[in-house]
Every structure is written in structure tokens, then in C-alpha cells.
Chains A and B, each alone.
Chain A
Amino acid sequence: MTTDTAPEIEALRKSYIGKESPPEVMEVERGHIRAFAQAIEDPNPLWNNEAEARKTRFGGMVAPPTFLRAARTQGLEDLPPDFPYKRLLDGGSEWEYFEPVRPGDRITAVNRVVDIYPRAGQLGPMIFIVTETTYTNQFGQVAATQKNTSIRY
């Protein structure tokens, strides 16, 4: 981190930390769950086969653990147009699960910025933006949370 970038980072932290995205609603469809499972090549009957899944304690198909990535919240699309770090990489993800996600569920995803910090990397100066997404189902239960680190460089 150079002294040149510090004020710019401080300004970013001030404007974005704590900021929440508008809620994004996703209706969970059985076909989408199955297509997702096929794309990740995960043949688990819980996310592929209703008849088999009914024999389990879940009583039917559920979504695979990372399925909620498909509920795409708006991130920081409103970053200033002159924001110098145009390129984007995913730095990592941390899930916590509370309730199964089932076909027919209506999931509301809200994304909140929790941290912004600079770091020098192999690809030059980088900015790490940490967000936490909360996925709430139609019963008001938090089904999962995901903390994600995106890297701008």
C-alpha cells in the first residue's frame, strides 16, 4: 500500500462500508436446481432426483450448497466510473447454512459491504472488498449467509 492510494481507499471505506444492496428475489425452481447440479457435475440424488430425495429425511429435492450463488445481488455497480481498478477476481467465499433451500422457495438476497482494504499482489496493487450476503426464505428464516471477498485490480 502506497501513501498515494490511502486517501482514495479511505474515501471508499467511508462511502461503501455498511452499504446494503437492494433486495434481490429468486424463486427457486426445480429445473434450475437440477441444471445447476448438472453444471457442477454433482450427481447427488438430493439435487437431481425427486423420487430418491423423497426417501431421505429432507422429504424431497433440495438445492446443493452453493446454489444460492445464482441469486445475484447487485454488488458495487455504482462504483465511481473513474474507479481505477477495473479488473475483478474472486478471492474466496465463506458459507454458513441454517435451513435447506427447496423448490418453490422464494429467497431474498441482500448484500452488505463489511470491509474494504488494499493489498499488494502479484498482479499489482489490489483492493479487497468483503461483502456478506444474507439469504432469507419466504418464512422469514435466514437459509444461509455468504461472506465473499472480491478483488479489484
Chain B
Amino acid sequence: MGSYPYWEDVEEGTEVPSLVKHPTTRQLVRYAGVSGDFYEIHYDKDFAQSTGLPGVILHGALKSAFLAQLLTDWIGPQGTLRKLGCQYRGMDQPGAPLTCKGVVTKKYVANGEHLVDCEVWVEDEKGQKFTPGWATVVLPTRAG
């Protein structure tokens, strides 16, 4: 495992290292299988189009999983993801890369825990941010 930030290392405006994901229809089928979400709009193009969609679309929860990975990759095993929220304001189709990004918005201490709030989001190739989100993580301190 690599090196991960301590609470002292981050400040407001610190960027979370980006994560690029390459969703495919194959991934949507696998995700349907492991999550139990078999709604056909995620893997049956004819069905998706019959509901007025342009084609199959990503499960919203898969984009949540991508944002969770963005954060857990960043904080490493010493950090704790405490809160993660996001909104699915647009639909993403497989076959194009998505980039997950984040930035620190606040750092503070509460109940003895060293906390960091972040704004996170998923961007498509055109730079559209269809999945805005927010997170709170607990980071270790150098003092221990």
C-alpha cells in the first residue's frame, strides 16, 4: 500500500487525487448480479429505449461506489469514511470514461476525531458534473 495523508497534511482546497473509471455494459451486468439490482434499464438496450432512455445507463449506486473508491484510495486503511452522499442529476451511458474528483472544503476536530469534509463529484468526458456529492472522512494524526 502507498502513502496516505495525515490530518495535518490537508487543508481547505487540497485536491483528492482523481480516479478514472471505464464503465462498460459488461460491468453493469456484473454490478446487477452482485447488487441484486436487475432493473432492465441497466443492461437491456431495447427495454431502456422503450422507457425513453437513449440506451442502457449506469446504476446510480455504481457511481456512488466510484466516489467511495476515490475516497478510500485517498485515505488508505488508517482513514475512515464516515459519510458519503451524492445526487444523480444526469444519466451516464457505458463506453465512455468517467473521472471522479474531490476537494477538501473543511477540516475540524469534533468529539476527539480529526475530520475532513470534501466536495466530490463525477465528471464525464465533456466535463459535465452529473453526480455532485459530499463526504466526511476521519484521518489519523501525526501525533497519534
Contact = CB atoms under 8 A, between A and B. Distances in A.
Chain A complexes with chain B: yes
A19 interface: no
A66 B69 CA distance: 10
Interface of A: 32, 35-36, 38-42, 44-46, 52, 56-58, 64-66, 69-70, 72, 87-97, 123, 147, 149
B38 to A, nearest CB: 10
A66 B68 contact: yes
A84 B78 CA distance: 49
B105 interface: no
Contacts, number: 100
Nearest to B29: A39
Given A65-B71, A66-B68, A69-B37, 5 more contacts: A64-B68, A65-B81, A93-B61, A94-B83, A97-B80
B87 A39 contact: no
Chain A interface mostly helix, strand, loop or mixed? mixed
B83 A95 contact: yes
Secondary structure of the B side of the interface?
A: mixed
B112 interface: no
A58 B72 CA distance: 14
A97 B138 CA distance: 11
B52 interface: yes
8 contacts: A32-B34, A39-B35, A40-B62, A42-B72, A65-B81, A93-B61, A93-B85, A97-B80
B82 A90 contact: no
